[in-house]
């Protein structure tokens, strides 16, 4: 029971949980886009199931400490560049986001609404949407889990931090998703953010580091401008 009175342990738990929550912002945006192809009544359950499955995959990643260590070892070299498993995961995940964001933007520009062909589009299948959420969460959480392993040598604390972060994300996913669904321009902004993150992940896979804080600043600035537009439109309608 000494851990209850360990300030260092509680500080580590708070730090890791905060890190997981902050790095989960882009994941929430992707989830909102992924479930938008489902019927409205199924979206909340898809968000919850997807995040719970993501929690399991994060914990499994965490438990594979030896595997995580090997992920950063070079597998092969190409054109003078070394590539590890981590690099390949980041490049693959980034390309997936680029394709997903581009296709969604194309559908929006062509006027294909979320309600169209809900039952016939592969992305509308409930299980497929859940799988997308779980797989992309591995890409998004990879660096944060590796960072957690380097920061704290206490697996129960790391698991607790992941559970807390996913709990917060489950609580926030429905309001964020509903807001994006109600505002088409915000959805387009979210898709642009997904493409931006995809480009950053591909660049990271090629050892070109882009500060995530810069991406968040760009998105926060754009979101602030869009918020002013929403307020202006509401006042105009009155």
Confidence of residue 143 (pLDDT cuts 50, 70, 90): low
Q: Residues 60-101: pLDDT tens digits?
A: 877 775 565 556 677 778 777 888 877 887 788 788 878 878
- Residue that wins the pLDDT comparison between 198 and 26: 198
Residue 56: partners with Cβ closer than 8 Å, 6 or more residues away: none
- Residue that wins the pLDDT comparison between 123 and 17: 17
pLDDT at 4: 52
Range with top average pLDDT, 105-114, 139-148, 183-192, 193-202:
193-202
Residues 160 and 170: their CA atoms lie apart, in Å, by 15
Count other C-beta atoms under 10 Å from residue 117's C-beta: 11
Residues 115 and 111: their CA atoms lie apart, in Å, by 11
Range with top average pLDDT, 3-12, 152-161, 163-172:
163-172
Confidence of residue 150 (pLDDT cuts 50, 70, 90): low
Residues 27 and 24: their CA atoms lie apart, in Å, by 5
**What is the maximal distance between C-alpha atoms in the chain?**
62
Q: Residues 24-45: pLDDT tens digits?
A: 777 777 787 778 778 888 888 8
């Amino acid at each position: 029971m000494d851990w209850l009175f360990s300030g260092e342990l509680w500080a580590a738990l708070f730090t890791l949980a905060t890190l997981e929550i902050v790095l989960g912002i882009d994941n929430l945006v992707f989830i909102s886009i992924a479930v938008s192809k489902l019927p409205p009544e199924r979206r909340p359950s898809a968000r919850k199931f997807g995040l719970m499955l993501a929690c399991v995959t994060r914990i499994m990643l965490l438990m594979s400490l030896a595997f995580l260590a090997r992920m950063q070892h070079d597998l092969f070299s190409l054109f003078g560049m070394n590539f590890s498993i981590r690099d390949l995961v980041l490049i693959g995940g980034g390309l997936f986001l680029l394709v997903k964001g581009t296709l969604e933007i194309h559908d929006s520009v062509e006027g294909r609404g979320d309600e169209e062909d809900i039952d016939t589009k592969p992305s509308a299948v409930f299980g497929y949407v859940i799988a997308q959420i779980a797989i992309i969460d591995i890409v998004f959480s990879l660096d944060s889990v590796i960072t957690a392993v380097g920061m704290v040598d206490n697996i129960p604390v790391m698991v607790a931090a992941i559970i807390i972060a996913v709990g917060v994300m489950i609580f926030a996913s429905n309001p964020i998703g509903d807001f994006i669904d109600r505002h088409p321009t915000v959805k387009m902004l979210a898709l642009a953010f997904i493409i931006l993150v995809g480009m950053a992940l591909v660049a990271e896979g090629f050892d070109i580091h882009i500060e995530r804080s810069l991406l968040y600043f760009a998105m926060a600035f754009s979101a602030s401008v869009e918020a002013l537009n929403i307020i202006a439109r509401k006042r105009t309608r009155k």
